[in-house]
Every structure is written in structure tokens, then in C-alpha cells.
Chains A and B, each alone.
Chain A
């Protein structure tokens, strides 16, 4: 069987270089040279003048997409529930932030928006306002053809209250504009990094990548998370052989958005994306 998925890059991967050694244009040129067909950006990082970019900036963005023959795949957005010290945001305030970024996403041509939600517990249960916020945002999502997609990321497993609640929203509303963005951190089987004392690391959930298959109708995008691909084209923490095998088997035809989260050393992002793409292409060729 052949792989049907497409490769993309989230510009998060260039965090160490963006504004240091590379402009936005440089990051996109580099990702495309590495093989990306789609680009994910962080609204608050990569849009100059956020939340109100000039028309000239928006035109420049569309020009970049055309010049490099690449498409906008996902825009990351934040609902900062702790914006005010002492109390969390209510439904309307949260909705206002989301709607503003959705309008921006539409203006820039994105089809998926990833809202990062505030949480209320150690196991990252989203602030309960999320449900009404999403329900009230759905008519706008439909109007724009924009799929709202919160991320499922370690330590949240597939079998969790959070995922059940998201699926319940989809079932009860019948919407096709609310899905999940799956981060491959949930497939991590070992700690591939040498951690500094006190350094945070995603916990090991060791979910079998095949367990994702039944959820795929409700998945808009997959973050191909990684911390480092070695010279032998293996990733130290995530068994990409099994991930790619499962995605080929189920015919996943969406994007893998490459997200390098290793040390922010200068020039690491571009090098690591190429290593990861080489790894994925080699694994895909095995079929």
C-alpha cells in the first residue's frame, strides 16, 4: 500500500531561528525546500501586527503561498482563560477571542484552526466554558468552511473524558466543523532525551498507533511531534515505524504537520525537519 498522507510543517519548529536567523519568508522557503506542501502557523507568533495585521501583510502572506505553491493548513490560536489575574474568562469573552482568530484564519485561507484551551486540572480537563464556546462558534465555522480542532496531546490519552466530551459534541450537534488534532506525543514509548533536572517531559502513554484508526473520521490533522531524529533516521521517543504503518493501513489522507520540539539551537529546526521527512519517506517506501 502507498501512503496517502501529505507532509506539512508547523513553523513552531523554527522557534529558535524565527526572528533570530530567519524571517517568516525564510521559514516558509526552508519548509518547502524540505518537502512541505502545507504550512501551519501560530497566530500570535507569525502574524505581524496580530491580532490586526495590515492588508499589506495579508497580501504578502497570500503571495508567499502562491510563490512557493504551498497551502495554509492550520492556524494555532489561544483562549487564555487566565488572561485576568484572579478569575477565568467567561463564555462570551472566550468566544470573542476565538471568533476574532477564526475571522483572521478565514482571511488568510486556513481550513483548520487549533484553539488551545485553558485547563482546570492536573490531567488537563478543559475549562468547562469550552462546550458553549464551541457550540456558539459552529455557525461561523460552517460559514467559513473552517474546522475547529482542539489538540489531543500527552498526557491526554484517546480513552479520556476530554475525547469522549469532544465526540459527544460532534454527535449531538451533527457538525462536521469540529474535529480533533492528534499530536503523536500520545504514541511516545520511551524517553529519548537526556532531561535536565526538573525539565518537563511528556509522560509516556505508549498508545498503540493502530488505536487511532477508529477516531480518524473525527481527526482534522496530525502533528508529527518529535524531539530529534538521529543519523540512523530513528526518533528517540516515538516509534514512527508503527505510526506510519498504521496511517498507511487506514489510508489517512490528511497532513502530517512536522513539529520539532527539541533544543532550540540555531539552525536545528531546518535540519531536523529534513531528517524527519527522510525518516517518514523511508518508512513509507516500505509500504
Chain B
């Protein structure tokens, strides 16, 4: 079972590549009421303790696929199922410190049944998360 909010406790951690910490990961369930094709997504902006991380640099892992933003927007054959959280990998050399962090994630997606003038539908989720190690 998942936590009710978009941002999940599980999966919040620093990410190491080649022996050094290159960023961190946040795990999110969909803010939508249904699963979608990944190409409907227009990315997610992440803010941690006031520091903003633009969607252009964030990679999405959905199932066994890890996608850059342009790859995500072209992924008409990749499903983001309702019950399967995605992992956002955010670049930040040295990562985040152990302890509590204020985390915000804004997911943007296209809902075809909203008036086109609305533009992408953006939902913002915020919570405190503990980074353990």
C-alpha cells in the first residue's frame, strides 16, 4: 500500500554514481486519479529547502525505464500505472544532508478533456521528508 500523499517516504535517498554522490531521489505516486501514458507528462519541478531544481534536468524512472524529459515527452508507449510510484532522480553534487528536508514536487501533465486554454495541469505536493543516510 502507498501513502496517501503524492510524495512517498520510501525511496527518498542520495544517489551515488562512480563512487560519489551525484544527486538524490524522490519517489512519487501520481497526483491524477488514473494511470496514464508517460507522454502526457510535461515533467516535474522539485524544490528542496528552497533550492529549485528544474524539470529539464530531472530523470524519471517508471517501471524499468529511466527517461530524460525529452524521452518522457515522447514515451507514448510507456505507462505510468496508478499504483506504481515513479522515481525522480535530481542532480546535485554531494546530495542532501542527513536529516529533515522540506520537499515540494510540482507535476505537469496534459488532460485532453480540459479546455486547451488551461494549458498543462499542474499539481503541487509538499511535505517534510527524512533523509536517513
Contacts and interface: CB of A to CB of B under 8 A. Distances in A.
Contact-size category for B: 20 to 34
Contacts of B73: 85
Contacts, number: 78
Contacts of B116: 119-121
A88 B39 CA distance: 13
Given A45-B34, A50-B35, A119-B115, A82 B83 contact: no
A212 interface: no
A154 to B, nearest CB: 13
A12 interface: yes
A83 to B, nearest CB: 6
Contacts of A127: 112
A48 B2 CA distance: 15
Determine which residue in A16, A81, A82, A88 has the highest number of CB atoms from chain B within 10 A of its CB, and name it. Answer: A82
Interface in B71-95: 73, 76, 79, 81-83
A82 B1 contact: no
Nearest to B81: A50
Contact of A16 (B4, B42, B83): B4
A266 B116 CA distance: 32
Interface string B22-42: 000000010001111101101
Contacts of A79: 112
A42 interface: yes
A118 B113 contact: yes
Nearest to A80: B112
7 contacts: A19-B2, A19-B82, A45-B35, A50-B35, A85-B39, A122-B115, A127-B112
Which 3 pairs show the lowest CB-CB distances between chains A and B?
Answer: A118-B112, A44-B34, A82-B110
